[in-house]
Structure 1
Amino acid sequence: MIQSGVIFGHKKSKTHPKMKRFISGTKNEIELLNPATSWESLDTAMTFLEEVVSKGGVVLFAATTPPAKKIIETFAKEFSFPYVVTRWLGGTLTNFSVIKTRILHYENLKEKKEKGAFDKYTKKEQHDFAEEIGKLSRFFVGFSFLKKLPEAVFLVDPEAHDTAVREAKKLSIPVVAIIDTNDDPSKIDYPIFASDHSVKSIEWVMAKVGDAIRRGKTVVREKAAVAAAPAPSEE
């Protein structure tokens, strides 16, 4: 944990007042998170995520900051979960019915392109269609398969995703987040106290989260196997 830089926060001048009780000290003006508290918060979040996944729940992952976006995209793809790594569209959760309509439009355009349905149009019209698909792809490629609201939202750096936090809160969707010393922990249901600006820190945390997700998915597979097993014959 320490070697991965998990406990190294931001400069003391940026510390959020509500984070002070989770800080164990300061080194060269950099706040140091309490390792025990960080581990405890991670363990609590992992337990919650494992439970959500074990019940077949969906977790929407979001990270748009440079240190985290590639890590989260790779992670979400590995576990077939929806993700946002470009920009959180306002209304992604609170106006999901409209967002879903836009997703269907995006999927429809992609399907038509793949089937050659645009070949009959002029080059300019084909270019316009391709441009529209490209623009929509930036926003929807990571969660175009999201058919309903998620059971939980996972964020890296909630300060950078304030809209996502507010939308989730409004709909009572639990929020799990990697939060640093400059964040407000009171806004997050399951905060994970760790550096959200260090690649190594984020990778370390997500490796642990991945273990919890795997355990949850194992439960789902086991339930499916039991349900699919033939009933014992009566003799």
Structure 2
Amino acid sequence: MNSSRVDFLRHSGIIATASMEQDLVATIPSSSPEEFSDATAQRLLELGAFYGRTKRRTNPKMKEFVFTTRGEIEIIDVRCIASAMEKAKQFVEEKAKSGAVFLLVATQPIAADAAKEFAAAVQCPFVQKRWIGGTLTNFKTISARVAHYISLKEGFSSGAMEKYTKKERLYKEREMKKLGEILGGLESLHTLPDVVIVVDAVMHHIAVREANRQGIPVVAFSNTDANPDFIDYLVPGNSSSKQSVTWFLEELRDAILRGRKSAPPVEHQDKNTPTATNNDKTPQQEASTEIKI
């Protein structure tokens, strides 16, 4: 085994004793030293992204990503993490080139900071507090609630709420704060997203199922207890680690921004081309005007 590889495994706590090191050397297939001198693999080891769930909690379909087991804890192969991450990055980059709308779902406290930074950089809607059932499968109703939240915000900012009594304003203010905690990140979601990005597919299994039903691709960072059958682009890894989650979102953020930067320029409409009037709306346009956002 390469010495640098042993150092990383020992430093990460996988190797605790000399006997464990000998056992690990015996169980690991021979690999070229270059594979484990790779900067990405080393970084994943340093981040602790390779820690899986206990063997009892691991989904049998995730065994292909498991490198070995130590102390009943599954150790995820960093080569699988890196490979899956590259595929996910290529996918979101291509989608970004075509102007796709991304929706981020990350409600864990450890993902709060990284999720906010991701949403701000990518300028995409996100769910950070709690997933509301029907966000995708009952989109019209959720959109109406978001529109109501926006109208309350605009009413308070413009002073339009002054016409109500003090008690009525207090009630509406409480309603606005409650809606803001749940729906605040969805203000820019005017249509169904083209891609749903999830941190921990098991925790957000309802969001994953809704995306599946709507035919929306799912990119997820999840541990060994996930079911890969419901995820289009699964990046296995320690989804309970703040550093690992931050790495995952930063990698996708950079890929999306690259895709948008390299997107072909939008063709401007010819001045001689007649524009649609209010009386010439398409069925899709008419449907979109039912809910004012």
**TM-score relative to the length of structure 2:** 0.74
Q: Which residues of structure 1 form unaligned runs of 5+?
A: 229-235
1:98 match: secondary structure: helix
Preserved contact between residue 155 and residue 175 of structure 1 (Cα < 8 Å): yes
Asked whether 1:134 is paired with 2:173, we answer no
> Quick check: 1:223 aligned with 2:265?
yes
Deviations 1:177-211 (A, max 9, x none): 00101111111011011110001111122221122
Question: Comparing 201-210 with 127-136, which one deviates more in the overlay?
Answer: 201-210
CA distance in 1, matches of 2:74, 2:111: 20
Counterpart secondary structure, 1:2: helix
Aligned residue number for residue 151 of structure 2: 108
Partner of 1:31: 74
Distance 2:166 2:184 in 1: 25
Decide which of 14, 23, 26 is 2:57's aligned counterpart.
Answer: 14
Matches within 5 A, 1:146-165: 146-165=189-208
**Does the aligned pair in 1 maintain the 2:124–2:188 contact within 8 Å?**
no
Q: Would you say the 8 A contact 1:176–1:190 is kept in 2?
A: yes
On the 8 A contact 1:63/1:85 being kept in 2, the answer is yes
Runs of 4+ displaced beyond 3 Å: none
Larger RCO (CA within 8 A; separation ≥ 6): 1
- CA deviations on 1:62-112 (whole Å, 9 max, x unpaired) are 011222233212211221010001111111001101111111111111111
Distance in 1 (CA, whole Å) between partners of 2:190 and 2:99 is 14
Instruction: For residue 129 of structure 2, give the secondary structure of its aligned residue in structure 1.
Output: coil
Bigger Rg over Cα: 2
Distance 1:16 1:211 in 2: 30
Which secondary structure state, in structure 1, belongs to the residue aligned with residue 159 of structure 2? coil
- 1:177 corresponds, among 217, 220, 223, to 220
Amino acid at match of 2:177: G
Separation in 2, partners of 1:56, 1:201 = 27
The CA RMSD over aligned residues, in Å, is: 1.3
Q: Answer whether contact 1:179 1:185 (CA < 8 A) is retained.
A: no
Matched residue, 2:105: 62
Give the aligned partner of residue 84 of structure 1: 127
Partner Cα separation in structure 2 for residue 67 and residue 132 of structure 1:
27
Identify the residue that residue 232 of structure 1 maps to in structure 2. Answer: none
C-alpha distance in structure 2 between counterparts of 1:167 and 1:196, whole Å: 21
1:205 matched to 2:248? The reply is: yes
- Give the fraction of aligned pairs with identical amino acids, expressed as a percent: 38
